[in-house]
Structure 1
Amino acid sequence: MTTYRMATTNEREECIDLANFAYHLDFETLMPKAYAKSVDSSAMHKVAVDEKGKVRAQVAVFPEPLTVCDFALRTGYLGTVSVHPRARGEGHMKVLMNMWLEELRDTCDMVVLYGQRQRYEYFGFTLGGVKLKYFVGEANVRHGLRHVNDNGISFKPLFEIEGAEAFAHSINTSRLAYVERTVEQLPLIFNTLHQRALGVLDHGNLIGYLVVNEKGDEISEFAMINAGDILRTIKAYREHSKADRISVYTPEYENSLNEILGSITEDYVIETSDMYHILDFANVLKAYLTLKHKTSGIVHGEFSAVMDGQPITARVDANGVTVERTAAPDAVVLTKQQAQALLLTHQSRYMTVNAPVGWFPLPIFWYKIDKF
């Protein structure tokens, strides 16, 4: 008989071993913020245990408090979905996923994951969010940045620089939207998914940082104190990396970064960010409509709907954004998947829903090192 419960401290290594076996990866190096030897993450796992006490399947949720325009959102990143090969087809993943979602219903505003679309649509997740990907090539630097002076810009592993933890923490919390990163865990967080953090120095002074992949040809997080140093850093980093072509990911709401990168890059694409399961539509809508209003801007208007049984009326006017937990008598009624498709995807423009132009998709974005 299979028992479904939270993992115990004694099962920490068994949970890691199962994940390593299922994915053929080393989770202690892939995800050190959760699985480094100094971290006991057993309490984040719901497990299926057989009659011999062996863990046969697991699903974990990494708590990630989120701040968006001073609104605190309770979010969690779901991952490490693992089933032992000899236990596949027995329904363990379905039970554990549903246990988590039921538990989080009253304690979380939104659950995030990255995985195969149709598999997780069965559990109420929608592929969406917005991230921009820019491409910088040799010709872009040679012609577009020919007058940019990058003299004095250098790069050094971030956490080899004195005061780097406080610096990186300050940059993160100064953003309009950020996942909480504790200062003590920053060196582990910045190594998530084999990323590397490079401090950007100007004549020896720390002015920003880049989070890059192992090859050095992808920047997943571009963080500078002053926007005026972005092009200098791009020019210097391309020479430092020796890469023919560099990709840079940005959230839609980083106005200065997008404006500057868009002025010189070869091309860009708009991609989805992750998969999302919204539990409290009013809280998520209020936070991210406010973010969009403060950055790219949105037209004044009103939208009323019943989203997955939750009545909501949102207004944008000269005073900003307001969201009420009531709906007009003639409000459109949307299922969970319909509501999330409207809020999270570019498919919203094709839906027969009378929403103000440009409100959706919401600019939800997760940095790579905040994934789990």
Structure 2
Amino acid sequence: MVKYRTATPNEREECIDLANYAFRLDFETLMPKAYNKNVDSSAMHKVAVDEKGRLRAQVAVFPEPLTVCDYTLRTGYLGTVSVHPRARGEGHMKALMDMWLEELRNTCDMVVLYGQRQRYEYFGFTLGGVKFKYFVGEANVRHGLRHVNDTGISFSPLFEIEGAEAFAHSMNTSRLAYIERNLQQLPLIFNSLHQKALGVLDKGKLIGYLIVNEAGDEISEFAVANADDIARTIKAYRGYSRAERITIVTPEYDISLNTALGSIADDYVIENSDMYHILDFANVLEAYLTLKLKTTGIVQGEFSAVMDGQPVTARVDADGVTVERSAKPDAVVLNKQQAQALLLTQHSRYMAVDVPTGWFPLPLFWYKIDKY
């Protein structure tokens, strides 16, 4: 008889071993913020345990408090979905996913994950959000930044620089949208998914940081204190990395970075960022409409709907964004899949729903080191 429950502290290593075996990876180095030897993440795991006490499957949720324009959203990133090869096809993943989503229903605004689309659509997740990827080559820098003076810019491992933790924490919380990052755990967080943190220095003074992949040709997070230093940093990093072409990932709402990259990049693409399962539509809608209004801008208007049984009316006017937990008598009724497709995807423009132009998709975005 298989039991489904929360893992206990003495099962920490068994959870890691199961994940390593299922994925053929080393989760202690892949995800040190959750599986470092000094971190007990057992309570994040729901597990399937057989009559012999062996772990047959597990699903974990990493809690991630999210701030968007002074709104606090309760979110969690779901991952480490692991089933022992000899227990596949027995329904454990479905049981554990359902168990987690039921528990989070009244304690969370949104659950996030990254995975195969159809697999997780069965559990109410929608592939969406907005991620920009720019491609910057040698010629872009040589011609587009020819008048930019990058003298004095250098790079060093971030956490070898005095005061780096406090600086990086302050840079994160100064954003309009950010996942809460524990100050003491920043070195572990910044190494998630084999990323590497580089401090950006100007004549020895720390002015920013870059999160890059092992090859050094992709920047998954670009943070400088002064927007005037963006172009200088791009030019200097191109020379530092010696990569033929650099990919730089940005959220839609980072206006300064998108402006700088858009003026020189060879090309760019807009991609989905993650998969999302919205539990409180009013909270998510109010926070991200406000973010969009304050950054890229949206037209004034009103939208009313019943989304997955939740009545919502959103208004944008000269005073800003307001969202009420009620709907007009003639409001459109959308099931969960339809509501999330409208709010989160580029395909919202093709839906037969009357919405003010440009409101959707909402600019949901997760930096790579905040994923789990």
The answer for the alignment partner of 1:23 in structure 2 is 23
Percent same amino acid at aligned positions? 83
The answer for the alignment partner of 1:151 in structure 2 is 151
| Deviation of 1:65 (Å) | 0.2
Please list, as runs of the form range in 1=range in 2, the aligned pairs for 1:1-372 lying within 5 A after superposition: 1-372=1-372
| Distance (whole Å) between structure 1 residues aligned to residue 139 and residue 33 of structure 2 | 38
The residue type equivalent to 1:123 in the other structure is F
| Distance (whole Å) between structure 2 residues aligned to residue 186 and residue 265 of structure 1 | 31
Q: Give the secondary-structure state (helix, strand or coil) at the position aligned to 2:46.
A: strand
| Deviation of 1:182 (Å) | 0.8
| Deviation of 1:181 (Å) | 0.2
| Deviation of 1:109 (Å) | 0.0
| Deviation of 1:242 (Å) | 0.7
| Distance (whole Å) between structure 2 residues aligned to residue 75 and residue 59 of structure 1 | 16
| Distance (whole Å) between structure 2 residues aligned to residue 83 and residue 322 of structure 1 | 44
TM-score by length of 1: 1.00
| Deviation of 1:200 (Å) | 0.2
The residue type equivalent to 1:314 in the other structure is A
Q: Give the secondary-structure state (helix, strand or coil) at the position aligned to 1:135.
A: strand
Q: Give the secondary-structure state (helix, strand or coil) at the position aligned to 1:64.
A: strand
The residue type equivalent to 1:113 in the other structure is L
> What RMSD over aligned residues (CA atoms) do the two structures have, in Å?
0.3
Q: Give the secondary-structure state (helix, strand or coil) at the position aligned to 1:312.
A: strand
Q: Give the secondary-structure state (helix, strand or coil) at the position aligned to 2:61.
A: strand
Identify unmatched segments of 5+ residues in structure 1.
none
| Distance (whole Å) between structure 1 residues aligned to residue 319 and residue 307 of structure 2 | 25
| Distance (whole Å) between structure 2 residues aligned to residue 9 and residue 303 of structure 1 | 47
TM-score by length of 2: 1.00
| Distance (whole Å) between structure 1 residues aligned to residue 105 and residue 30 of structure 2 | 29
| Deviation of 1:236 (Å) | 0.5
| Deviation of 1:141 (Å) | 0.8
Q: How many residues align?
A: 372
| Distance (whole Å) between structure 2 residues aligned to residue 299 and residue 361 of structure 1 | 14
| Distance (whole Å) between structure 1 residues aligned to residue 81 and residue 48 of structure 2 | 12
| Distance (whole Å) between structure 1 residues aligned to residue 101 and residue 161 of structure 2 | 41
Q: CA deviation digits over 1:23-82, x for unaligned, max 9? A: 000000000000000100000000000000000000000000000000000000000000
| Distance (whole Å) between structure 2 residues aligned to residue 146 and residue 357 of structure 1 | 39
| Distance (whole Å) between structure 1 residues aligned to residue 102 and residue 70 of structure 2 | 27
Runs of 4+ in 1 over 2 A off after TM superposition: none
| Deviation of 1:127 (Å) | 0.1
| Deviation of 1:319 (Å) | 0.3
Q: CA deviation digits over 1:88-117, x for unaligned, max 9? A: 000000000000000000000000000000
